[in-house]
Amino acid sequence: MKIGIYPGTFDPITNGHIDIIHRSATLFDKVIVAVTTNPQKSPLFTIKERMDLIQSSVHSLENVDVESFNELLVNYAEKRGAAAIIRGLRATSDFEYEFQMALVNRKLSKNLLTVFLMPNEKYTYLNSTIVKEVAKLNGDISCFVPKEVYIKIKEKFQELKKGAK
């Protein structure tokens, strides 16, 4: 069984991420969307909330699982029996960082491949940070995220506004 790991913070998951997951699900027998933290980011959602949002967004894909991890990615991937790490490339600006990480991962684990997938061109400008910034300023993000995610983001920012008063 060929397993691909799609790691990220997914805070929140966007339609671009969903596009990559759908593409990955056609290439691998099993895709694990692996949610992690990034100490350089302040998440809007907890890991559990992010996992629930991802699960609700990909529930129709039978070969996709959602998990969390908090260790070195290659170690996690090896424990899960993965053949590849899946990474999305939106623009050339992503390439240098992703290429560097792929080389480091290859050095750490000779048997683990990195597969780069480009999302549909309508999502190449999209990332979670932009979605949060637009939502925080009451912009319409309904075309950027699945409906369930849209609802939860609106609720989260309403909670934060109430807490700030």
Whether 165 is covered by a domain: the verdict is no
Domain limits at 19?
3-124
CA-to-CA distance for 12 and 154, rounded, in angstroms? 12
What is the widest separation between alpha-carbon atoms in the chain? Answer: 53
3-state secondary structure of 45: coil
Whether 85 is covered by a domain: the verdict is yes
CA-to-CA distance for 120 and 156, rounded, in angstroms? 28
Please give the model's pTM, rounded to 2 decimal places.
Answer: 0.94
Whether 17 is covered by a domain: the verdict is yes
pLDDT > 70? residue 165:
no
Whether 14 is covered by a domain: the verdict is yes
Over residues 16-45, mean pLDDT? 94
Whether 79 is covered by a domain: the verdict is yes
Whether 153 is covered by a domain: the verdict is no
The residue that leads in pLDDT, 42 or 149, is 149
Whether 146 is covered by a domain: the verdict is no
CA-to-CA distance for 3 and 77, rounded, in angstroms? 9
Q: Let me know: does 21 contact 33? Beta carbons within 8 Å.
A: yes
Whether 28 is covered by a domain: the verdict is yes
Q: By C-alpha distance, which of 44, 21, 62 is closest to 149?
A: 44
CATH number reported for the structural domain that contains residue 96 in this entry: 3.40.50.620
pLDDT per residue as tens digits for the range 66-101? 999 999 999 999 999 999 999 999 877 788 889 999
Q: By C-alpha distance, which of 66, 69, 73 is closest to 33?
A: 66
User: Which residue numbers are catalytic?
Assistant: 17, 41, 90, 128
Q: Let me know: does 119 contact 155? Beta carbons within 8 Å.
A: no
The structural domain count of the chain equals: 1
The set of residues, in sequence order, having a beta carbon less than 8 Å from that of 36 and lying 6+ positions away, is 7, 8, 9, 47, 68, 69, 70, 73
pLDDT > 90? residue 160:
no
pLDDT per residue as tens digits for the range 128-139? 999 999 999 999
